[in-house]
Amino acid sequence: MSRRQNNLEALSFQIVMTVIAVLALILIVSPSLVVVIVSFTSGFSLKFPPPGYSTRWYVELWNAWQLQFAARNSVVVALWSTGLSVVLGVAAALAISRSKTLTAKLLDSLFMSPLVLPALAFGLAALMFFSLIGLPVSLLTLVIGHTIVCVPYVVRNTVAALAQLEPTLLESSAILGASRLYTFRRIVLPLIRPGIISGAFIAFMSSFDNVPVSLFLRDAATDMLPIRMWQDLEGKLDVTIAALSSVLIIATVALMAIMERTTGLSKRLTG
């Protein structure tokens, strides 16, 4: 094969790969952009491009008390679930990460299993279980259900952070006379903090966005935002939802930027 042919061949490969990659990236971003643009429409439909621009649907959103009520519930449940996930998950991660025993391995698989199992099956199972033990659906049952499906993110990220911790640091600290608690507070915790924070961040987002568990464990008094939005969209295509969606997209981008600054989220997720 001549050099010229070889160059052409290499070029064709690079062009094809780059074009697909760029198209795929556009495919990923464009839906979010479209929602933000359409939320500023002056019309009554989701027509794109919008006939004119206004902020009327944001005013509408300001008065949509049902959506606000659901949003408040979602935030409350996400905060409690994240808090519980961090306390239980970090303790469990400490226990299993440095142990090579079979028990530790089995516990690890158990704690990770909610990520693989269809969450809808767990949602139904949890509903049946709570009705069997006579616990009516409430914010409490939602927090319990969400914690089970969110805690794996905290465990996984904390275990990953602990794996990078040098055991010699702990030994040196002990040799210098520090108690185990002191070593934990002053050496271990600061070093694994970014891992815990990024795990907590993902746990919070996935609780806030949870559908399969909330679907079964909420009722009218404990309405959750994703379910409320879904039911609104099933009925009619409301532009208020576009305004709410664009608020959520912008909030997510802002949170991501903060997380990237503080914990280097992107490097953490790509290993």
Partner 1 sequence: MKSATTAPGDVTSFSLGLALPLGLAFAIFFVLPLAQLFYLSLHNDTAATVWGLGQYIKFLTDPFSLAVLGSTLLLGAEVTLACLVLGYPIAWLYQRSGSRVQTLIIMIVLLPLLTSVVVRTFAWIVILGRQGIINSVLQSLGLIGTPLRMIYTQGGLIAALAQVQMPLMVLPLITAIGRIDPNLSDASASLGAGSWRTFVKVMLPLSMPGIIAGCTLTYAAAITAFITQSLVGGGQMLFMPMYLYQQASTLQNWPFAAAISIIFLFAVLAIVALFSTLGRRARGYGDAR
Site for partner 1 in 152-171 (CB under 8 A): 155, 167, 170-171
Asked whether position 136 contacts partner 1 by CB under 8 A, the answer is no
- DSSP state, residue 48: S
Q: Which stretch binds partner 1 (CB under 8 A): 10-18, 60-68, 75-83, 192-200?
A: 10-18
Residues 6+ apart with CB under 8 A from 77: 139, 142, 143, 146, 207, 224
Q: Would you tell me how many other CB atoms lie within 10 Å of the CB of residue 254?
A: 10
Binding residues with partner 1: total (CB under 8 A)? 106
Q: Are 114 and 122 in contact (CB under 8 A)?
A: yes
Give the C-alpha separation, 198 to 244, whole Å.
25
Among 64, 67, 70, 126, binds partner 1 (CB under 8 A): 126
Q: Which of 57, 70, 145, 196 binds partner 1 (CB under 8 A)?
A: 145
Please tell me the distance from the alpha carbon of residue 211 to that of residue 42, in angstroms, as a whole number: 31
Q: Give the number of residues written for the chain.
A: 271
The window from 56-64, 75-83, 111-119, 190-198 that contacts partner 1 (CB under 8 A) reads 111-119
Specify whether the CB–CB gap between 122 and 187 falls below 8 A. no
Write the burial class of residue 114 (CB in 10 Å: 0-12 exposed, 13-18 middle, 19+ buried): middle
Asked if residues 224 and 70 have their Cβ atoms less than 8 Å apart, the reply is yes
User: Minimal distance in Å, beta carbon 110 to partner 1?
Assistant: 6
Q: Which of residues 51-80 bind partner 1 (CB under 8 A)?
A: none
Using CB under 8 A, which of 25, 59, 163, 254 touches partner 1?
Answer: 25
Confirm if 172 and 188 have CB atoms less than 8 A apart: no
Tell me which stretch binds partner 1 (CB under 8 A): 19-27, 53-61, 75-83, 192-200.
19-27
Pick the closer one to partner 1 by CB: 63 or 101: 101
Q: Which residue has the tokens 């795990």?
A: 199
Touching partner 1, residues 233-262 (CB under 8 A) = 233-234, 237, 241-242, 245, 248-249, 252-253, 255-256, 260
**Backbone torsions φ then ψ of 199, nearest 5 degrees:** -65, -45
Indicate which single residue of 59, 189, 221, 269 sits in contact with partner 1 (rule: CB under 8 A): 269
CB of 35 to partner 1, least distance (A): 5
- The Cα–Cα gap between 90 and 67 comes to 33
x-marked contacts with partner 1 along 175-204 as a string, rule CB under 8 A: -----x--x------------------x--
